[in-house]
Chain A
């Protein structure tokens, strides 16, 4: 062994030394371009095909994939869009058809024009995937090489049809067209049959099966190259890095000033992002789970600037009202008065969260957007008040014995709060809530669900009596339906709204909210049908009234308790690039749905090299 030792160390040193010298001795072995490439974070799925339809595509929205329009996020007008691949669009008066005109100079990265043929083939694939059906698309017709008419399915009622059409991704017919059989539109038509003729019904079922099998084939397809409709096109990549170069045929190529974008992979591990930010090695990134000292430290790195982007996501506590004693409003309200939401937010999400003032099933900004000043004053913020809680509990029949609260039937009361492994902020919040409730004399246990997938299953099966929920939604129906549609037992089947109580197994009603409640100032409110109207009505005033009703109902009847609003915390680095839109909150919000947002920012007129 003695003779072994010396060569081993020498060998190791030699290898390291030679490789180091051999790769020009610099960390970044690439020759320095005239303009720096823009380095940012993106998800690179190892082994995935360059196919947008795959669940894990090797493509990035905003970079090499464009939508017809960029939705302006902000709930008040869900039909507001920036033009992208679509230059203009016109919705018919009854809202049942949309005519879309493509940009005249829109081209794929291989030079070919983006035409209505591409739109038609994309629509066909969308029927195979179920996307077209989810926006109630009925038929598509090309008027000329750059214009297409989208018609809603007859009999369908949907007030966001235009949004659905504009949010479509356009894929090249030259890449995917050959996968579609010649009779695809006949199959699609057969699958849309809604009558009662048994032969045709059978044909309809077969057509659906054929379409599903077709989509599976399309999803697995691996094109040889990236054919991009966006500002960049993929040039080379490995598991950690992807290099995209400017697509000179992009319709707005004149707005794209950065010639190269490099993506660094995000492996579900925030530490990677923190390292990059601390080293000044990426020029834009968002991250969760940062402590305030870490944010401070990152901001101190030269040229790093912090920015905040609001979101419509919130963390909520929910109760299963079919489980005693949570069926009693007094009990839920008592818990709301005992939980100090300010402290819970400080513990759970000190950096990426803000305190939510009123439980209304909406983030504060939306609450303020829909409710009048008078209505806001009437809302109950449920500020911590042990006295109010005690009085509510006593009135409900609870008794105190030896410093602990007991159920009306004399049994000791144990509250079980269920949270989810992996959502560290929820776990920490649960720990804090447990402390607060225990101090108030309520025995509390925290239960951890092994995964979010299992948590959702348990929730739908009614196994969670008191747990967490993500509030979200960028449209009125999206927001309210998150609570009052399927989770409350209201399913849309065949165009009809059906209700299933919590006892109906497999239907997923875990909220158990009463079908009709008496709300002060509004009389009897049936949340299910009311929420469903949000999906159908086109009158903005009516929608506004319904939103107000639902928010106030939530506040009074407390099916949920919003703990905090989520906020995206990010950093940009202006060492080599300038003109960031970080002060334009609306634009930041709009582009926040793109990972990474650099393509969206440029398309909307920002960011250039110094």
Chain B
């Protein structure tokens, strides 16, 4: 136990250092992005039909929020803010605290994207196992083909197709909002069922577009495990197929762990198209929009979320790995 805690502490320290390194790199990287977004914003508004006075009034004051200190001073200021868990003020939202904006986006990411990933994982893994075990019959082949084809279709296409078929031409499901704005959020049945109904299409889009990846990944993992000695041995010993199945599954599952950890970490980059088309403005969309306007504090905070999430989930996966797979424990 003590050894475990020591390892954990060392790893945590390493994680913090890594987070700091990435945050620093990102800080300077995003300030290298060229362009003058304020002028661009004004021009785009004018192209939409606003008069130049209206457009100027709309972006007035934006310049004030871009800091003018020399870069190293800005960096130290940023570190100081981080130490106090202060994420700064947004530029594109004229001074609204970044934490507030991220907090309003987080429920969509956590709710939609994580649910989507978990469900996709489940379906994909099951599919992958079938594809591997029955790979010489048409069952396995069709799952493989299905997975490859679905993987090749871009996510925005799947989302649009679902929206078009099931919400526009045949309006079975609602589309365009996470829930009816007339219903106030709360732990009521009306709200929760409404939320669920609105979530069906985006989650379905998630599953359909993500199924291929996990199915193929699981398939290759199972295929690798199938080649192992102990499987052969268990066959020879006459162990029942269902138990053998369990052996295979547990072993094949392990490497997928790593991918799952990374994938969950990446949820904070979100599924941008699904967020955009179905109006679940999570961190992915936030990131994208903040880049266009050069909203540095918001960009930094959004990327920091991903960094922390990926590194932490990797850490957890690694610690769990040593717990689950005894073969590794003895190694170090």
Whether chain A touches chain B in the assembled complex (some CB pair under 8 Å): yes
Confirm or deny: A545 has a beta carbon within 8 angstroms of a beta carbon on chain B: no
Whether the Cβ atoms of A267 and B276 lie closer than 8 Å is yes
User: Which of B5-13, B87-95, B260-268 is found at the contact surface with chain A?
Assistant: B87-95
Known: A4-B126, A54-B94, A267-B276. Contact between A275 and B175, CB under 8 A?
yes
Residues of B within 8 A of A281 (CB): 168, 171, 176
Known: A271-B277, A279-B168. Contact between A264 and B176, CB under 8 A?
yes
Residues of B within 8 A of A243 (CB): 181-182
**Interface residues on chain B, number (Cβ under 8 Å):** 86
Residues of B within 8 A of A134 (CB): 53, 56
Whether the Cβ atoms of B181 and A262 lie closer than 8 Å is yes
A280 to chain B, nearest CB (A): 9
In the complex, A272 Cα to B168 Cα: how many Å? 10
Known: A15-B196, A313-B49. Contact between A456 and B35, CB under 8 A?
yes
User: Which of B21-29, B40-48, B146-154 is found at the contact surface with chain A?
Assistant: B40-48
Confirm or deny: B136 has a beta carbon within 8 angstroms of a beta carbon on chain A: no
Whether the Cβ atoms of B62 and A55 lie closer than 8 Å is yes
Fill in one digit per residue for A253-271: 1 if any B CB lies within 8 Å of its CB, else 0: 0000000001011011101
User: Which of A20-28, A144-152, A223-231 is found at the contact surface with chain B?
Assistant: A20-28
Whether the Cβ atoms of B169 and A453 lie closer than 8 Å is no
Range of interface residues on A (Cβ < 8 Å): 35 or more
In the complex, A472 Cα to B56 Cα: how many Å? 14
**Chain A, 59-84, CB within 8 A of any chain B CB:** 71, 73
Confirm or deny: B330 has a beta carbon within 8 angstroms of a beta carbon on chain A: no
Whether the Cβ atoms of B181 and A48 lie closer than 8 Å is no
Confirm or deny: A565 has a beta carbon within 8 angstroms of a beta carbon on chain B: no
Q: Which of A19, A129, A279 contacts B61 (CB 8 A)?
A: A129
Whether the Cβ atoms of B193 and A19 lie closer than 8 Å is yes
A110 to chain B, nearest CB (A): 21
Q: Which of A2, A28, A49, A451 contacts B96 (CB 8 A)?
A: A49
Confirm or deny: B225 has a beta carbon within 8 angstroms of a beta carbon on chain A: no
> Chain B: which residue is nearest A288 at the CB level?
B48
Q: Which of B40, B129, B177, B245 contacts A238 (CB 8 A)?
A: B177
Whether the Cβ atoms of B281 and A46 lie closer than 8 Å is yes
A595 to chain B, nearest CB (A): 8
Whether the Cβ atoms of B180 and A29 lie closer than 8 Å is yes
Confirm or deny: A216 has a beta carbon within 8 angstroms of a beta carbon on chain B: yes
Residues of A within 8 A of B44 (CB): 452
B98 to chain A, nearest CB (A): 10
In the complex, A456 Cα to B173 Cα: how many Å? 43
**Chain A, 407-462, CB within 8 A of any chain B CB:** 450-458, 460
A-B contact pairs, 28 of them (CB 8 A): A22-B189, A29-B190, A47-B93, A53-B61, A55-B62, A129-B57, A131-B60, A216-B94, A219-B94, A220-B94, A238-B179, A239-B177, A239-B279, A239-B280, A241-B180, A241-B181, A264-B177, A271-B160, A276-B176, A311-B49, A313-B47, A451-B40, A451-B292, A457-B34, A457-B36, A460-B36, A470-B43, A592-B49
| Additional A-B contact list (19), CB under 8 Å, known A4-B126, A240-B280, A453-B34 | A1-B246, A27-B171, A28-B180, A46-B286, A56-B93, A164-B53, A219-B94, A220-B89, A241-B176, A241-B180, A243-B181, A265-B177, A267-B281, A275-B167, A278-B169, A451-B40, A456-B40, A478-B52, A592-B49
Residues of chain A whose beta carbon lies under 8 Å from any beta carbon of chain B: 1-2, 4-5, 8, 12, 15-16, 18-20, 22-23, 27-30, 45-49, 53-56, 71, 73, 129-131, 134-135, 163-164, 167, 169, 212, 215-217, 219-220, 222, 236-243, 262, 264-265, 267-269, 271-272, 275-276, 278-279, 281, 311, 313, 450-458, 460, 470, 472-475, 478, 566, 568, 592-593, 595
